[in-house]
A and B are shown apart, each in its own frame.
Chain A
């Protein structure tokens, strides 16, 4: 009897040990996949690139006389000038005027060669999206920072992160992988445009969605 009992408890002990291992491995596996899924994969998903030239907004906004509009303005036909072309820089940068190595690089590699700087646009939307600055900055009188954050007050160009699969900038879908948004400029995906449009009743005339028609923001 007692021997039998011993055997049983032995077996039970072994089973407990096995179960313990299974639970342990399960927990380790769970944490490993959580770490991979939430931390390693997102960082692998995006490649990081530096702008060709590190640009100082603060310094330049002081140097020019019309603020942002000296470089980013609405053209007469309603289109937006975007990131400035070389022609807008040469007046001041025909020759190196300071000590900054970035300026020397800019003048020697681009101005002297007459080559446009291949700036990376953080907010670049997919091809199928139509966006209009004049609507938002002139008609709706919105601040640049509402959508772009503090880029206008930055002293260095931030790192550009590109999604390896879609090729889109990380600023579109945002940094927070759980999907939380603290500031209006944290991301600018379809739902973010739409959220504000619903609030402001911007052409909510779609038959399918009862919200904004697709051709308001698509082309």
Chain B
């Protein structure tokens, strides 16, 4: 049994999002909320209190007409690897709620373990984590539409994008029923990837040369958010526009060249 386990290569699941293709339609956000039983309230006007595992931001180049340009940027959890898996949130959690798995590269969150101190929210430079100020209340009849593979959350805990990890667990079960231990690329895809009508989101194992993300992430137009903090995120963005790439990090006004890490 031991020998067999050794043969499974460590994976590093990640995402490449092509911002040239993203139209900001929001289909990924909707798919994400439905897939992951993300709670919502009747009044969602105060975005500080909303929970959105995947959120679309609107960037503008700040120039007057006719040079005005905008770009939509979907932001899931970056599943930062940091140095040897010490993501900012993982390092600060006092209760081992959040963890980095060296075999999948996924930053997990165990809601039942969380007591709501929100250190991780403060540590996360991407605002990818959200706090449940209330117990979820589903509109009449909607509990029947909840996804049974994703455990629901309760008041007082932090939640975030899991790269739809339960889909990996289910895919692995199917693979094992067929006598395999490895999951194929198409068998494990996130809900947002599948929902995007423009095909802007690509998901897969960044370590596996056979997966689409492997090549995409090496594009000269690829960048990551706030790379210089050393968070080592696993979500890459692609944009042919220089100003978009520049807005991925903080640069001095006179700094010209973007250093590729």
User: With a CB–CB cut-off of 8 A, which chain A residues contact B150?
Assistant: 219
Main secondary structure on A side of the interface with B: loop
Within 8 A of B (CB), among A98-152: 126-128, 130, 132, 134-135, 138-140
Judged by a CB distance under 8 angstroms, whether B85 is at the interface is: yes
User: With a CB–CB cut-off of 8 A, which chain B residues contact A214?
Assistant: 99, 101, 108, 110, 113
Is B108 a contact partner of A218 (Cβ separation < 8 A)? yes
Judged by a CB distance under 8 angstroms, whether A34 is at the interface is: no
Specify which of B93, B101, B165, B174 is in contact with A77 (CB 8 Å cutoff): B174
Judged by a CB distance under 8 angstroms, whether A201 is at the interface is: yes
Is B10 a contact partner of A127 (Cβ separation < 8 A)? no
Instruction: Tell me, rounded to whole Å, the shortest Cβ–Cβ distance linking A87 to chain B.
Output: 20
Is B177 a contact partner of A207 (Cβ separation < 8 A)? no
The complex places the Cα of A140 from the Cα of B181 at a distance, in Å, of 12
- Chain A interfacial residues counted at CB < 8 A: 31
The complex places the Cα of A79 from the Cα of B175 at a distance, in Å, of 11
Is B101 a contact partner of A215 (Cβ separation < 8 A)? yes
Within 8 A of A (CB), among B120-170: 149-152, 162, 165-166, 169-170
User: With a CB–CB cut-off of 8 A, which chain A residues contact B203?
Assistant: none
Judged by a CB distance under 8 angstroms, whether A82 is at the interface is: no
Known contacts: A130-B169, A206-B101. The answer to whether A201 contacts B2 by CB under 8 A is yes
Specify which of B93, B103, B112, B176 is in contact with A135 (CB 8 Å cutoff): B176
Task: List the A residue with the shortest CB-CB distance to B97.
Answer: A214
Q: A126-B112, A206-B101, A213-B104 are in contact. List 13 more A-B contacts (CB 8 A).
A: A77-B174, A78-B170, A78-B178, A127-B151, A132-B176, A202-B5, A207-B90, A208-B99, A209-B99, A215-B165, A216-B101, A219-B150, A219-B165
Q: Which residues of B come within 8 Å of A, CB atoms?
A: 1-2, 5, 10, 84-86, 90, 93, 96, 99-104, 106, 108, 110-113, 149-152, 162, 165-166, 169-170, 172-178, 181
Q: Which residues of A come within 8 Å of B, CB atoms?
A: 74-79, 126-128, 130, 132, 134-135, 138-140, 200-203, 205-209, 213-216, 218-219
